[in-house]
Structure formats: structure tokens, C-alpha cells
Structure 1
Amino acid sequence: MAEMQIEFDVPAEMRDGTVLRADVYRPGGTGPWPVLLSRLPYGKQMPMALAILDPLAAARRGFMVVIQDTRGRFASEGQWEPWTYEESDGYDTVRWAAALPGANGSVGMIGASYFGNTQWMAALSKPPELKAIAPMVTWSDPDDGLWTRGGAVELGITAPWTLMMGADALTRRHGTDPAALVGGITGLVRDLDGLAGGGYGELPVGRFPAFARHDLPELGYERSRREPDWARSCRVAGRHDEVDLPTFQVGGWYDIFTQGTLDNFTAMRRAGRPATLIMGPWTHTNQQHVIGDVNFGFAANSAFMGMRGRLHDMQLDWYQRAIGDGEALEPDTGRVLLFVMGVNQWREEREWPLSRAVDTDFHLHADGRLTLEPPSTAEQPEEFTYDPMDPVPTTGGALLLSDEFRAGPLDQTVVEAREDVLVFSTEPLTEDTEVTGRVRAVLFAATDGPSTDWVARLCDVDENGVSRNITDGIVRVRAATPGEAAEHVVDLWSTSIVFRAGHRIRVQITSSNFPRWDRNLNTDEPEQDATTARVARQQVFHDPDRPSRIILPVVPPA
């Protein structure tokens, strides 16, 4: 390690002449070494990047590490456009990194979120030197968690991400005009700080005013609606068969891309590729053991992993076998490591989803009960009023919003006291009940307008009566027939939890979760133009012909 060498801002020329720059960490000695590459837009020396790929630890293990600023960011040249160039730049960068002095010609990639997706895009471009990827907390379909979810706009992440990314864009734009730069950054910070205080509520959502004020490239929702073909620039879904590489995938039950991680894993397994999956109780930015209001035990911490050591070391162990000097990965190599909440234990599996899980219907009833028995007689529908100007506030969940909003499991008392939130609960459970897998709600519901949203949330109510959120989902209904009941399926994504004996299983039904998702204004106008709201009268049915229910994948006791 005393001989380790670091080169800063090493240039790599892309096919169009644009120069991207990377920091290169070489172990002591002469090599040659396999290369671990990370490409990110957040600054290659920022603590988050160095924490996800610890270059000193990797160099100690015999890897050359290359961390690159993506096009148009920080030390790299070019115009900043989220996603547009990541496939072609990924290809060119992998080939360049493989040919660096001291490299042995084999490249693996590692990183999270945006720089999890840069791995997938590079893999889809098929540079011959790329041998394995290790994406963390990243999506599969951008319209299932990145730009939209169930048809609703992912406003919660879109707004702060775009504004935070704007600082470097404004610095480049006004680099020779200090006064303009100060004015631009001041206005940007004002909008960022003001999101929770009203900025999130600006309309129209589909042409968000704050982005226009600063002329910033946004996360991609608006562009993807103008240019549907462009959306392919960061979509992995439907293309997994093109990736003939082993993958090591990491996600969290409270991550904004929980289902994307699982979908990427299952698709790679289905394609016959070696694939490893680790799912912790984590959020997008927190891989420790206290998540939201819950202490899951130190075993949950990514620095411990239930006595398995650091998650980062587990990744390096895997890379030692995939591209290093360890025992090579066999075609069927791969495992699933799940953190089961409730009992707070890691459990090794060989598959996802679990074939032994049984989809089990829990039915909604008019008296607020949630039972295994469907309604046997006619029950009056539940009704509530949904006012887009007084939406249900986001309280915990798989989210990444401005800092005022905490992710993870939080006390739902304030939410459940609202008149526009329906609550259905089981009796206290007589035995532990494990739910591991995909959760769905089937709602027979009506609205008096042409459009609305339906939100379903699964909660765990402890023996003291405290309800905490587990997972949720939304579906946007367009071209509704006013007053007519229709069947709507809400995808709550996936989880793994044991509801302990004495706890209750609870379901919330409502029509908003703001600002995580944009408000449906109940007019059916396109989000690009809608600025006028109307109040909607909502009905949820639960009778023999319209059995609203939540479907839970129940795992039988061993």
C-alpha cells in the first residue's frame, strides 16, 4: 500500500472527441491488475462515491480502480444530459480502462443508483473487456420508480435531484461571470430549500416551473414524454437477454428502486446468467441498522451483515472470483441473501421469488376489518373526499425526497387519523406470519370525476397499537366513468417481514401521497398542462361481487 499510486483527472477521449476524466488508483507493484470502474455524475471524489467503491480497500485486494466523471460533469467535458450518452460513453470508457498501463484487460463495474444504471448501459453496449457488473439500488424500468410509478409522477425525487444537479450546470454556464453565478446559485438554493414549504406544489408538474426558471436538464420525466424513443437511454427492462455477464445486485426494502433491483435479478436468472442478490432493510442512502423509527439490530448494518463482514468486502470477494485471481464463478453460481424484517435476521435462499410463498387474499370489510374470509353479504361502500389541495402527506416509505422527509418505517398515527384515509386491520395475530414477495391490492372503486389516483399501503401494527408502514403503491386512473365501480390493481412492490404474534396487519387506502407522488388534480388533463384542481368523491366497494382485497405472499412455517 505504501507504493500505491493515484493519478487524478486522467483523460479518456470518447468517439466524438469529448474528453472525460477519471481518477486512477493503482496497487503497489507492476501488475497487471483487473480493473474496477465506476462512472458517476456526482463528482468522483465525493464521499458517497468513495464509500460505495472504497478505492484503497480495492487496491489492497489487487484491483486497479477507475472512478470517472460522466459527460458534462465536474472535470469531464461535454454537455450534461442525464442518461443520453451513458451507453456509448460506457463502451468507450471500458475499452479505454482495459488498456491503461498496468491493467490486465478485464474490467468490472460497481456503483449505485445513477452509477448502477451506467453499469447496465455499458453492459448493454457489449465492450468485450467488461466481464461483470455489481449494480446497487438501481431501476429496471424508469417508469416504475424513476420517472413515474403506476402512472403518477415521481415528483419527490425528480425535483430535488434536478435542482441539486443544477449547481455544477450553473457553475459551468456562468464560469466567467461571477455576478451571474452568485445570482443563479442563490436562486437555485432558494428553490431547493423551499420545496417542502410549497415548492413541491408548483404546477404544472409536467413542466415544473423551478426547472424552467433555471433552465436545467431534469431527471428525464419531461423529456421522456416529449421523446418516447429517448427513454431507451436508461431502460434495462426488456433488454436483459443482451447482457451475458454475471451480476451482483444489492437493494433495500425501503429503497426507491426496490422492485427494479428484484426485477433485474429475476430477469438475469431467467436468462441463465449467474446472478447474486442481497436485499437489506435499507433505504436508498442508508445501509445502517436504524431505518426510520426502527432499529433492526446491528446485524442489519452493511458494515456487519450478520457476521459476514462488510458488504463492500463481500462484493470484492465476488469480484476476486469473477475477474480476479480467486476461484472462477461457475455458470450456476449465485445466491439470494434476504433480511427478514420483524424477526430481524438474514436468511440465505436459492431463488427469488420464493416458490413456497402462497398468495393469500386478505379482504376489506365495511367495519374496518381485514380478514381471510371474503364478504358474504352486501356491505355499504366506504366513502371519502379527496382534495388535491389538501393531500395526504408523505410519511415514511421507500423514498428519497428533500431532507424534511424521512424514509423508512414511520409512525402512521397522523396519516391514519385523516378522514381521507381508509384503514382496515386484522385481529391480533395468534402466530407469526411471514410475508415475503410481491404485494398487490385489488380495489373495486369509483370516483365522481374523469381521473383520480388510488394508493394502498401495507402496515405492521405492534402490540402497543403503533402502525408503521412497510410498503405501498399507487395507480393513476384515466378516462374514468364517473360513479362507475371498476377494478384497479395497485402494485405495492415487494417486501420480507414477519408479522409477529400479537401484531395486526393493516392496510390503508387513500388517493394521495404527496409530495412523493404528484397529486392527481381529478380533471384528466395532461400533467404538462394541468393547473386547475377539483375535489373528488371516492368510493371503495367490498361485497361478494366486488371483493376488494390485498394479496400477500405468505410463507408457511418451516
Structure 2
Amino acid sequence: MQKQLGGFLMKRFFVALLLFAVSIQFAQGIEWIKANYTKKEYKIQMRDGVKLFTSVYTPKDTSKTYPIIMIRTPYTVAPYGEDKFPANLGPNEELARAGYIFAYQDVRGQFMSEGKYDNMRAYIPNKKSSAEFDESTDAYDTIDWLVQNAKHNNGNVGIWGISYPGFYAAMSLLNSHPALKAVSPQAPIADWFAGDDMHHNGILALSMAFNFLSNFDFPKDTLITDWVPGPQYDSPDMYNFFLNLGSVANANKKYLHGKYKFWNAVTEHGTYDEFWKVRSNLSHFNNIKPAVLIVGGWYDSEDLYGPLNIYQSIEKKNTNNNTHLVMGPWSHGGWARTDGASFGDIKYPESTSATYNKNIITPFFNYYLKGTGTINLAEAVTYRTGSYEWINYDEWPPANRENKTLFLAPNKKLSWNKPVEEKNNFEEYLSDPNKPVPYTAKFYDSQQAYLRTYMNEDQRFAYSRPDVLSFSTEALENDVVIAGPITANLFVSITGTDADWIVKVIDVYPDSTKNISRAADAAEMGGYQNLVRFEGMRGKFRNSLEKPEPFEPNKITNVKFTLNDIDHTFRKGHRIMVQIQSSFFPFFDRNPQKFLDIYNAKDEDFQKATHRVYFSEKYPTSVSFGVVK
């Protein structure tokens, strides 16, 4: 019982960090907020009659008017009660002290708001009646009520949010209210099948989806103020817990028991069908009027796809727009939750979160909502990893790039020259789904969603495995700066009928690199294999996420996919490495290596298979990217 309780509390603690993404790094403190703000609670009626619970915090100094900064969240606006105050307000302490009205709203169907909740509720572009609603109309109706009823407001509204609240912020841009002047979607969700949270190119993000949905997706029959406990069970390390689970089909049998509606939907919609398509927001960002500041983290394991692709959607669909992109060296919400002075084993020369809060987000809201200060934001502002510096760009990806390709070559080398040999050279490995490659060297509790720092982790643990292929350049003669997306172009064959393909781009440090610390547990930096970017593709979706296709055993087949953007300097003397593998467990679920509905696979369906990766004139496996000139 003690172990179960400990695991439950750990899960609740982790989920609180994961979901709320609160600005604990910049908390003002309950007593200060109580002394300087009054709190009112309202039930704001939407166009269909449903009422949404909203807490409004107004400065006690009523001698002037203030803009409204709003957040809409499915994760509770607690504490409830007009005499109860939170430890922080807004994106950071400076904005709270500058004087704003802060509005917090439980979205439709969550906690104290009426209605039915729907994960990533679909946007309705052509509404058939004035009572039809979606997240954009709920935002519109809330803003309309606030500017008319919240005392001492100046008529200007901003919206922000991290993760799911970032999704709701993004949705407020669609047919936006005239009073909405500035929006900052931070780590927003865009598509839950292609790249955010639940899937990567059709591969289930197993540990993330299981732990998130078993805590978040609890059934709600009435208004509530507290989280409902998720399933309780003994919790060994994550790798062995999910390996012992067996097929994903066993999750309901052993732990979830059919109680979690969206988990059931995930397992029932194993292709990119209408269920997923209508939830994607990328086709809808037309006629965007407010100023927009999209924020993301290079090491965001949950929602890196979202900010990059929402930014691109706005740029492509709006000739004239005022949209900016900020990407820093952070995990999910790290710009609000940490000081950003390090990530994993890598330390930075500054607090990147402090730089962002002081120079970017605070001036953004002050300028567009208060009309104070100046704004001199570049189109895109990124933190370049590897050389550890902020870079301003006129566009993203930057125009001053030269397309370059690294080709796999014999002796596990990477070459800048395309192969000329006619012989079909290859490397092969035995892929065993019952001994999958772990995505991290760390062992940790299975009731966490994932290990937050794995996205720049030393990859020597994977390099040592026989089922991971590693290819690298010689030591670089000059710095190489890669900015933008990366394309993996594989030529492969398998003895089965399906396989996953994970490609990793790695910065290999020289053997002479000095350790950062002399502590006994400090990372050995000589030869360190710093993960820069990875991505996976479920092989059956190689040509279409909608229409899966089997592999023909032993037939050479092209598998091509995109890795999310980077901005990274591979320093002189370092090497660029590419690793290729077929499992990334348990962050990704296992592929049985048979063409079938994996969500209904039986334990006996999982089979070993031999995988080959080819490199020749006819089959030139490669990775391509833009090198900054």
C-alpha cells in the first residue's frame, strides 16, 4: 500500500508539473498577490447557454485602467473561492507587478465549467447557426463579456498559455475578437497524430499517452474542484513496466479497464482518419489579426511540432501578419518553470529563461496591451545550441542557408559525397521487439510521462548496442551551423512486413573535451554523444498517414521523413553522427514487425526481424539539412 501511495503521489506531482506548466520560477507569492489584487469569480455564459467558470484578479489600485491577460485551461483554475489566491499570476513576476487584470478560465466541460469536454475540440469554419460553438467562439464570448463587465479594464486583451493552454491560445486567433490585441501560444498543440504529444508519424508515444490520459481523461459527471485519482498499481521502472505490459491492447485489460474515453479513441483510430484530421488546427490560421508570439523549446518532448508548424501555417496563409517565433534551449514549459541555465549535462553561459522573460515576453505584452515601452522583436529569435548564443532572423528557416547532404558510407562513415558504387552496400541488425532499444540510459518511475532531459542525452548507451547503427563524419575542419528541418532519406529492407525507423542526429565531442565537473557522478564529456534531434516513422505510414502499406519482405524500400527544426553549431573538431534504430522504448510503443493493427496485436505477434540500411549509387541513404552560410 505504501508503494502504491508513493507512486500515486509521485504521479500526481509529475502531472501537476507537466500539465499546469506554471511559472513557479517567477512566483510572486500568495501574500503579495492577496495584498495587491482583488479576486472575483464569474460564470460567463457562452452563445449556446453553457456557463464557463472564470476567476478574475484585478489590481487594488483603481486609479487607472488595465489590460486583461487571459489563460484558458483544462487543468483547473484552482484555488477556488474568492478568498483563495494562487502563488503566481500571469507569465512572470514583472507583468504581475506592472499591473494587469488576470483572467483564468476552466474550459468547457472541465472542473467548474459546464458543458461537455472534447480533447482538441475541432474548429468549425462554417458554422450553421449562431449557437454553434468551438474553442474560438468560447474565447470570443469570454473576451466580449470581460471587456464589458470586468471593472477598470482598458479594452485590450491578451491571451497566453503553455501546452494545452497554448492550444487554446492559438485557437483564439481564429475569427478573433476585436479587443484581442496580443496572443502568445506557448508549446501549443497542432496535430496529435503527426507530431505532438500522442504520436510521431503514427508511432504511439506510449509512456506519454498512457500516463497523461490515465490522469487527465477521467470521466466527469458533475462540476468538480479536485483532480480524480488515476489508476493505482505497483510501479517499477518505466522500461520494465511497459515491457511487462506486453501489447498495447493489454493496457485496458490490466490497468485502464475501458474507463478513459480518449485512450479508447486513440486505440480505435490507428490511422490518420477523420477523428484526427478535424482536430488538427493547421489548416485554419487564416486572416490572423492580433500580434502573435509563438514560443517553443528545442528540447520539448511533447509539443515541438506544434509551435514550429503553427508558425509556418500563419506565415503561409497570411501575407501580412505580425507573428514572431521564439525557440530556446528548454524542455516543455522550461522558460517558465526553470532558470534555463542548463539542460541535462549541458550548461549555458546565462539564464536563458530570464533573458526571454525580460527581453521578449514582458515587452511584448506591455507594448501591445499597455502601449508602453518599445518592441524590437526579430521575426524569429532562437537560441543556437552548440555555440550557446541568441540569434535574430528575418525569417525562419533562415534564407542564408545552403542545402547540404550527408550520405551513409562504408566503414560506418558519413560522407559529403554521394556514393558512386553500384554494389548495394548495407549494414544490418537484428531487431527484437522483446529487447527494444531504450530511449534513455536512465531508470525511473513508470508513472512519470518521460524523462525530461533525454532530448540532449549522451547517446553512448545506444551506440554500444548491436541493434543501433552509427555513422559519423571525420572531425570537422570548421564550424557547421545547421538551421531548420532535417530530412532523413532511408533505403531499407526488412524480413518482416512492418518496422519503425528512428533517426538521430548527434554532436560528438572530441575525446579531449574537459569535464564540466569533477564530481564522481559528473558526465564524461570526452567523446560525449550529444543528441541534437531525433524523429521516428512507423514504416507502414511511409507513403501516407491515412493509408498504411505493408513492406514486401527483403525488398529495398524508400522511407523518407522530416525531423523537427534545429539551430545548432557543430564546432570545429566535433563530429556529426547519425544513428538509425527500430525502437525507442518506452517513449514509443513497440512495433510487432508485422503489418497489422498494432492496438489489437497479441503478445505472440511480436517477432524478430533483420533490418538492412543501404548505401550505394542507386540507394543513397542520407540526411539533408540547411547549413547557414
Which residue of 35, 40, 44 maps to 1:12?
44
- The residue number in structure 1 matching 2:189 is 139
1:468-547 mapped onto 2 (5 Å cutoff) = 468-478=530-540, 479-531=550-602, 532-547=605-620
The match for 2:125 is: none
Q: How much has 1:122 moved relative to structure 2?
A: 2.2
Which residue of the other structure, out of 67, 79, 97, is the alignment partner of 2:146?
A: 97
Q: Judge conservation of contact 2:488–2:503 (CA < 8 Å) in 1.
A: yes
- How big is the shift at 1:120? 1.7
Using the alignment, how far apart are the partners of 1:465 and 1:59 within structure 2?
A: 45
- The separation in 2 between residues aligned to 1:51 and 1:489, in whole angstroms, is 45
Where does residue 107 of structure 1 map in the other structure? 157
Give the equivalent residue in structure 1 for 2:113: 76
**1:25-67 Cα deviation digits (max 9, x unpaired):** 1122154322111011222248xx9768247643432421101
Residue number in structure 2 paired with 1:130: 180
Kindly tell me the number of residue pairs found equivalent between the two proteins.
536
Between the aligned partners of 2:600 and 2:262, the Cα distance in structure 1 is: 17
Amino acid at match of 1:202: L
Q: Match for residue 260 of structure 2?
A: 216
State whether structure 2 residue 67 is matched by structure 1 residue 34. yes
Unaligned stretches of 5+ in structure 1?
Answer: none
Q: Where does residue 19 of structure 2 map in the other structure?
A: none
Given that 1:438 and 1:494 are in contact with CA atoms closer than 8 Å, whether structure 2 keeps it comes out as yes
Q: Which amino acid aligns with 2:145?
A: W
Q: How far does residue 208 in structure 1 lie from its aligned partner after superposition?
A: 4.3
Counterpart CA distance in 2 for 1:98 and 1:390 is 58
Question: Any idea what SS the aligned residue of 2:329 has?
Answer: strand
The SS at the match of 1:298 is coil
| C-alpha separation in 1, matches of 2:321 and 2:345 | 38
For residues 21 and 251 of structure 1, what CA distance do their matches in structure 2 show?
Answer: 28
Alpha-carbon separation, structure 1, partners of 2:374 and 2:528: 49
Deviation at 1:132, TM superposition (A): 2.5
Residues 255 and 283 in structure 1, CA contact (< 8 A), matched pair in contact too: yes
8 A contact 2:439–2:454 mirrored in 1: no
Higher deviation after alignment, 139-148 or 377-386: 139-148
Mapped to 2, the partners of 1:52 and 1:469 lie a distance apart of 35
> Would the aligned equivalents of 1:26 and 1:59 in 2 still touch at CA under 8 Å?
no
Is contact 1:395–1:406 with CA below 8 Å preserved after alignment?
A: no
Measured after TM superposition, the shift of residue 441 of structure 1 is 1.2
Q: Where does residue 292 of structure 1 map in the other structure?
A: 344
Structure 2 vs 1, CA of residues 280 and 5 (structure 1 numbering), >3 Å: closer, same or farther? same
- Counterpart CA distance in 1 for 2:624 and 2:601 is 34
Question: By how many angstroms is 1:204 displaced?
Answer: 4.7
What is the distance in 1 between the residues matched to 2:63 and 2:259? 48
Q: Is residue 2:199 matched to residue 1:148? A: yes
Once residues 372 and 161 of structure 2 are traced to their aligned partners in structure 1, the CA distance between those partners, rounded to angstroms, is: 22
TM-score (normalised: structure 2): 0.78
Match of 1:205, SS?
coil
Indicate how the Cα distance of structure 1 residues 164 and 52 shifts in structure 2: closer, same or farther if over 3 A, else same.
farther
C-alpha separation in 2, matches of 1:117 and 1:275: 16
* Among 224, 241, 245, the residue aligned to 1:202: 245
Within the candidate set 467, 487, 498, 1:451 is matched to 498
Q: Find the partner of 1:24 among 52, 56, 70.
A: 56
Superposed displacement of residue 354, structure 1: 0.9
Query: C-alpha separation between the residues in 2 aligned to 1:81 and 1:60?
Result: 35
* SS of the residue 1:276 aligns to: strand
Question: How far apart in 2 are the matches of 1:419 and 1:205?
Answer: 26
The amino acid that maps onto 2:111 is F
What does residue 440 of structure 1 align with?
A: 487
Deviation at 1:485, TM superposition (A): 0.5
Supply the AA of the counterpart residue of 2:105.
Q
Q: Is the 8 A contact 2:136 2:176 kept in 1?
A: no
Match of 1:552 in 2: 625
Indicate conservation of the 8 Å contact 2:297/2:334, yes or no: no
Deviation of 1:129 (Å): 2.9
What is the CA-CA distance between 1:395 and the residue it aligns to? Answer: 2.0
The 3 A distance-change label for structure 1 pair 526 and 31 is farther
| CA–CA separation in structure 1 for the residues paired with 2:565 and 2:195 | 13
Between the aligned partners of 2:215 and 2:235, the Cα distance in structure 1 is 7
Give the structure with the larger strand fraction: 1
Compared CA separation, residues 69 and 194, structure 1 to 2 (3 A): farther
Letter in 2 for 1:448: T
Indicate if the aligned counterparts of 1:9 and 1:75 stay in contact, CA closer than 8 A. no
Counterpart check, 1:63 vs 2:63: no
Q: 1:202 to 1:78 in 2, by over 3 A?
A: farther
Check if 1:358 corresponds to 2:431.
Answer: no
Residue type of the partner of 1:545? K
Q: Distance in 2 between matches of 1:364 and 1:380?
A: 10
Kept after mapping to 2: 8 A contact 1:25/1:59: no
| CA apart distance, 1:225 | 5.4
Whether the 8 Å CA contact 1:135–1:249 is kept in 2: the answer is yes
Which of 245, 248, 257 aligns to 2:290? It is 245
CA contact (8 A) 2:167 2:185 kept: yes
C-alpha displacement at 1:116, in angstroms?
0.6
Secondary structure of the equivalent of 2:161?
A: strand
By how many angstroms is 1:163 displaced? Answer: 2.1
Deviation, structure 1 residue 201: 5.9
Asked whether the 8 Å contact 2:170–2:188 carries over to 1, the reply is no
Question: What percentage of aligned pairs have identical amino acids?
Answer: 25
CA distance in 2, matches of 1:43, 1:55: 19
Displacement, 1:495?
A: 0.6
- Among 316, 341, 351, which residue is 2:385 paired with? 341
Give the superposition deviation at 1:207.
8.2
Deviates more, 1:114-123 or 1:280-289: 280-289
Does the alignment pair 1:324 with 2:370? yes
3-state SS in 2 of match to 1:198: helix
Amino acid paired to 1:289: A
TM-fit CA distance, 1:293: 1.6
1:12–1:96 CA contact under 8 A, matched in 2: yes
Task: Note if contact 2:113-2:223 (Cα within 8 Å) is conserved in structure 1.
Answer: no
Partner deviation per Cα, 1:259-290 (whole Å, 9 max, x = no partner): 32122223323312111111111111433121
The answer to whether the 8 Å contact 2:431/2:608 transfers is yes
The one-letter amino acid of 1:112's match is I
2:210 corresponds to 1:159: yes
1:496 Cα shift? 1.0
Normalising by structure 1, we get a TM-score of 0.87
Assess if the C-alpha contact under 8 Å between 1:155 and 1:515 holds in 2.
yes
Q: Assess if the C-alpha contact under 8 Å between 2:158 and 2:365 holds in 1.
A: yes
